[in-house]
Chain A
Amino acid sequence: MPVITYRDALNQALREEMQRDDRVFLMGEEVAVYQGAYKVSKGLLQEFGEMRVVDTPITELGFAGVGVGAAMVGLRPVIEFMTWNFALLAIDQVVNSAAKMLYMSGGQYNMPMVFRGPNGAALQLSAQHSQAWESWLAHIPGLKVVTPGTPYDAKGLLKSAIRDDNPVIMLEGEMLYNTKGDVPDDQEVLVPIGKAELKREGEHASIITHGKMVLTAMQVADQLAKQGITIDVVDLRTIRPMDIDAITSSVRKTNRAVVLEEGWELCGVGAQVVDYIQRECFDDLDAPVVRVHQADVPMPYAKNLERAAKPDAAKAIAAVKKVMYLE
């Protein structure tokens, strides 16, 4: 199976879906002539032309709304935000237009569109460029929210998102774009939206995570295995709708859970996961669930402070040991 980067997996998904359906187009800042701020759209302008790979002005609210309008009348837009930090300017279109149109119109106007771009912290970009937005977006009925953590899932989820007749939010990771993995060169690599994946099987504890933190969780599993501790790594892959069965079946097996995420603690995705666990697995738990997340501060610039703020493997290992009463 070909080994390609997460970036190329996204590029493959876009190219294949644009070849498959001429209603699919890509719109955003620097997606065409510049070939993508992160080169996700490399070569697409040359293959599909300027009507289908559209450079916009810096006007997030505006072009998000253009996507909504185009979707209302039968196109299938993929709207790229250079980062989700900039998408805050467009949140009215995502929340008030895209998410609610089907409901407000009594089922008449669905929104077959994708909003995508990198989410979460990279390296030393400080407060305004280092934020994970999934808990905000997952709060909204009418949206689907996916967070691929591997190249395979990036391709499969983006293709599923483009074919979905609902508005799908895709949160990628700048730090993931260069990561590599097995990805079939296959038109029908489709990862179902709403299905988690057990990325690693173990017996002592479960880490429930998503997005960029999947990589961290896999490192944690490798390191703990050397100490004789094996863990389940449950990759949610989709935050809304959340695969509750995948969470509960793992926790029922291991009886101990750590919830790992990039975002902040209060009202975070992990808070919802813990709620499902307490509701469904109350009698299965051998320890309180522990959460690992970003420190409750805007992201600082200095290397040491940034490291202290971010969740990482060491913090997650400590959490696993805590739920196992080893420390």
Chain B
Amino acid sequence: MAKKKADNSPATDVDTRRELLRSMLLQRRFEERCAEAYALGKIGGFCHLYIGQEACGTGAISVLRPDDYIITTYRDHGQALARGMTPRAIMAELFGRIDGVVRGKGGSMHLFDRNVNFLGGHGIVGGHVPIATGVGFAIKYRGGDQVCLCFMGESVVNTGAFHEALNMAALWKLPCVFIIENNRYGMGTALERASSIHDIYNRAASYDMPRGVVDGQDVMTVRAAVQEAVDRARTESLPTLLEVRTYRFMGHSMSDAVSGTYRTKEELEEYLKRDPIIVLRTQLQQEGQLTDDDFAKLDEELKAVVQDAWDFAEQSPEPPVEALFEDVLVDTTSDAHAEAVVAAH
């Protein structure tokens, strides 16, 4: 399958690209503050930053309809923001507060929002891939034309769950788009040390599934490739496996060195030149669609948004202790719970 080219058609207007730049920059500024909050002990547990990979989720999510579904891994802050979950609710969740998007029950790895069909960040590598297939199954069962977008890291391709899920998605022709964000390392283990093949989109050949590979640092390229896959899912009910080649600029989580153990400083510096925000900013500036001043203004605005989220999170109360026993089970039958949740929004 051919490698995808960036979508530079006039249809992709300047406003769209400015929106994408804004979304990626918001994610970046948000997560820089996450790192700070983690160092200050305001965020605990595991915290996996998306810095460097923003173009993947931002480009992919930008082609979805509001009624489409998204499911992802524990590296989920960027995608949650790209889907329109508020910085306040996400930061409050990271701070473990009651106004968090899941009321302080999930933290960094488990962001969910029923309002925008964000089916969660999931913490077991590979575990959410069969769930995506199930969402695709439900769409087909109901005769709908939504799509389920499933993000995963490249280490997932070595799990049994991945193979089982892709086989069924292809066998049953389900409207799923499986996106591998290949950031080259599963924690500290390089792809080449973990997978017997290195062009991992070719794993889809085993399932006779449409597949592709694209540059994950160029948001417009990602967007074009995902658009094609989403169209295929929506109109033909066929799944796609898309490998998006990217790089994380930070450690795996908050406890490991950014470079020096499993990857070199030189390698990191090489990839930093292809920062997805710089790539898009440069494109817009070269076309005369953005000035340094515009960018600085946008940056200041987004920093203020993130500061507001921080302040909101800090002021939000901790969950009441009674909440400990809430939401283990529902006490309803025949969908009464789901109907109540929907009605409450």
Contact B114 A108 (CB under 8 A): yes
> 22 interchain pairs (CB within 8 A)?
A21-B334, A51-B141, A59-B167, A61-B160, A62-B133, A62-B168, A63-B168, A64-B130, A65-B127, A66-B130, A69-B119, A71-B134, A92-B127, A92-B161, A93-B130, A104-B110, A105-B112, A107-B326, A108-B113, A110-B337, A165-B334, A165-B335
Contact A66 B168 (CB under 8 A): yes
Cβ of A58 to closest chain B Cβ, rounded Å = 10
> How far is it, in angstroms, between the C-alpha of A1 and the C-alpha of B71 when the chains are bound?
49
| Residues 103-136 of B contacting A (Cβ, < 8 Å) | 103-106, 110, 112-114, 119-120, 122-124, 127-136
Who on chain B is nearest to A167 by CB?
A: B329
- Tally A residues with Cβ within 8 Å of B: 47
Contact A65 B165 (CB under 8 A): yes
Contact A93 B328 (CB under 8 A): no
On chain B, the residues within 8 Å of A72 by CB distance are: 119, 131, 134-135
- Residues of chain B at the chain A interface (Cβ within 8 Å): 69, 71, 100-106, 110, 112-114, 119-120, 122-124, 127-142, 148, 160-161, 164-165, 167-168, 171, 326-330, 332-338, 341
> How far is it, in angstroms, between the C-alpha of A142 and the C-alpha of B328 when the chains are bound?
5
> How far is it, in angstroms, between the C-alpha of A74 and the C-alpha of B129 when the chains are bound?
18
Contact A70 B135 (CB under 8 A): yes
> How far is it, in angstroms, between the C-alpha of A304 and the C-alpha of B203 when the chains are bound?
50
**Interchain pairs with CB closer than 8 A, number:** 166
On chain A, the residues within 8 Å of B124 by CB distance are: 92, 96
On chain B, the residues within 8 Å of A56 by CB distance are: 168
> How far is it, in angstroms, between the C-alpha of A67 and the C-alpha of B164 when the chains are bound?
13
> How far is it, in angstroms, between the C-alpha of A277 and the C-alpha of B102 when the chains are bound?
38
Assess whether A112 is interfacial by the CB under 8 Å rule: yes
Are A67 and B134 also in contact (CB < 8 A) when A96-B124, A104-B106, A109-B120 are? yes
On chain A, the residues within 8 Å of B105 by CB distance are: 103-106
Identify which of A69, A112, A141 contacts B134 (C-beta below 8 A). A69
Assess whether A133 is interfacial by the CB under 8 Å rule: no
**C-beta contact mask, A232-251 vs B, less than 8 Å → 1, else 0?**
00000000000000000000
Contact A165 B337 (CB under 8 A): yes
Assess whether A119 is interfacial by the CB under 8 Å rule: no
Who on chain B is nearest to A101 by CB?
A: B120
On chain B, the residues within 8 Å of A165 by CB distance are: 330, 332-338
Contact A73 B69 (CB under 8 A): yes
Who on chain A is nearest to B329 by CB?
A: A166
On chain B, the residues within 8 Å of A101 by CB distance are: 120
